Amino acid sequence: MYKEKSPIAIRIADLVQGINEFDFTYKASDFTGWQLAEAGFTRNIEINVVVDKSEDEVSVTIETYTVADFTCDRCLAPISRILSGSLKLYYLYGVSVEEAEGWNEEYRLLDKNTDSIDLTGDVCETLLLSLPLKVTCTDNTVCKLYGIDEKNEASHAEEISAWQESLEQLKNKYR
């Protein structure tokens, strides 16, 4: 059976004791099944992986950086945003399954026979978690729906003043 090669797999046998650093550049289409292009990732995705290997532990730090293209939620104008994310994972050797049962997702077990660590899913999750919930163009003057209107702003200030004055009068009445 043929197994598809993972885009981001770190071979454990190639790691030296201490710090190992890897840089990758991919397109969203390289991550099949994750729909990253539909989420706005249309440009190059830069990934920096720092692996710290010791006798009984491998710690992995993933940092992602890209520019994503969106449309404004208010006026549908095209917007580009710089997105970055990071994730720290720990892989441990020689720990029993019972000990690891209550652990956080960031701690994972490695079998002594494991030849590589697949980070593709973790990278994709980091990218998706870096997406903003709401995208608006605050510096775009073309956005007419929620732009600042000077007439509205002046009337709003007068309204607040009138309200504050009536509140002050009411307060004085009950003293």
Which has the closest alpha carbon to 36: 69, 76, 78? 69
Which has the closest alpha carbon to 127: 96, 86, 168, 167? 86
- Does pTM surpass 0.85? no
What number of other Cβ atoms are within 10 A of residue 160's Cβ? 10
List pLDDT tens digits, range 71-121: 888 777 788 889 999 999 988 876 655 555 656 666 788 877 788 889 999
Question: Positive or negative, the Cα torsion across 163, 167, 169, 173?
Answer: positive
Question: Positive or negative, the Cα torsion across 102, 107, 113, 116?
Answer: positive
List pLDDT tens digits, range 59-83: 999 999 999 988 888 777 788 889 9
